[in-house]
């Protein structure tokens, strides 16, 4: 299992939100590029970068910083937030990003989603952000009636190969991930699953790796020091070996 540090950017700074609430922001660093470099130097095999302004407002606002991260670090970078049309998706990939993440646009614009699947193939990730089992959009500020697991099934049928599943209630709360949901997703779909939200300890990392998911995005716990990245990488590697056996 990949352990993937999160770099969330708002107003050009590296921040974390509590459960997606833009009014409950903690600033961890003024330079997101330096933060990404630190995670890469500590051994991260991939970094997850989110343009929070773009996710909420529907257009990329921190593209310069995102592109700078991709140019600077020596590991692949995936990014989402504000990618709402094919031109932006293509430009993002051409700028050196390894994968692009669609959230709101995947839900609200089926035609664009089909174009994105055709254009990006396995470089496309769809972010399934769930609050109480229902999909949320617009940077988690809008709720829908779309049932999250049903949406995952629809995505698989459309040819989406990889998703990030976030339990919003767990995000930033340091209360542990929704392991049961990840076990269910792995059992019910062939789509590669990346977990996000709630990792607070090395034990959480071990439990997630044992579910058979592809990766786990970790944010606040890395910034607060509750989880040491180097140790998490070792735990994930060993747990994944055990699962393979």
* Dist. CA 67–CA 77, nearest whole Å: 9
pLDDT at 245: 44
pLDDT at 138: 78
Catalytic residue from among 2, 8, 53, 171: 8
**129 labelled catalytic:** yes
State the CATH number of the domain containing residue 81: 3.20.20.70
The residues of the chain scoring below 50 in pLDDT are 245
Chain CA centroid to CA 167, Å: 11
Range of the domain at 79: 2-244
Over residues 96-112, the pLDDT tens digits come to 999 999 998 999 999 99
**29 labelled catalytic:** no
How many structural domains are present in the chain? 1
* Dist. CA 39–CA 11, nearest whole Å: 21
Angle between helical axes of 86-94 and 110-120 (0-180°, round to 10): 30
Long-range contacts of 143-152 (CB under 8 A, 24+ apart): 144/107, 146/107, 149/184, 149/185, 149/188, 151/107, 152/128, 152/185, 152/188, 152/189, 152/191
Angle between helical axes of 202-210 and 229-244 (0-180°, round to 10): 30
Catalytic residue from among 129, 167, 171, 204: 129
């Amino acid at each position: 299992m990949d352990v993937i540090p999160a770099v969330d950017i708002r107003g050009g700074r590296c921040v974390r939100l509590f459960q997606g609430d833009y009014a409950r922001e903690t600033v961890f660093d003024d330079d997101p590029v330096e933060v990404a470099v630190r995670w890469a130097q500590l051994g991260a095999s991939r970094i997850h970068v989110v343009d929070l302004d773009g996710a909420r407002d529907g257009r990329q606002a921190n593209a310069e910083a995102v592109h700078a991260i991709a140019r600077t670090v020596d590991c692949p970078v995936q990014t989402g937030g504000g990618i709402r049309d094919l031109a932006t998706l293509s430009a993002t990939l051409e700028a050196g990003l390894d994968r692009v993440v669609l959230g709101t646009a995947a839900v609200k614009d089926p035609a664009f989603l089909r174009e994105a699947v055709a254009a990006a193939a396995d470089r496309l990730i769809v972010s399934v952000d769930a609050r109480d089992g229902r999909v949320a959009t617009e940077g988690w500020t809008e709720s829908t009636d779309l049932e999250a697991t049903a949406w995952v099934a629809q995505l698989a049928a459309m040819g989406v190969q990889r998703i990030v599943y976030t339990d919003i209630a767990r995000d930033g709360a340091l209360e542990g991930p929704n392991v049961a949901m990840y076990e269910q997703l792995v059992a019910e779909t062939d789509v590669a699953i990346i977990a996000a939200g709630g990792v607070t300890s090395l034990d959480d990392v071990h439990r997630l790796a044992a579910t058979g998911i592809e990766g786990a995005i970790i944010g606040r716990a890395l910034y607060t020091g509750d989880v040491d990245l180097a140790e998490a990488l070792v735990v994930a590697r060993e747990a994944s070996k055990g699962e393979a056996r």
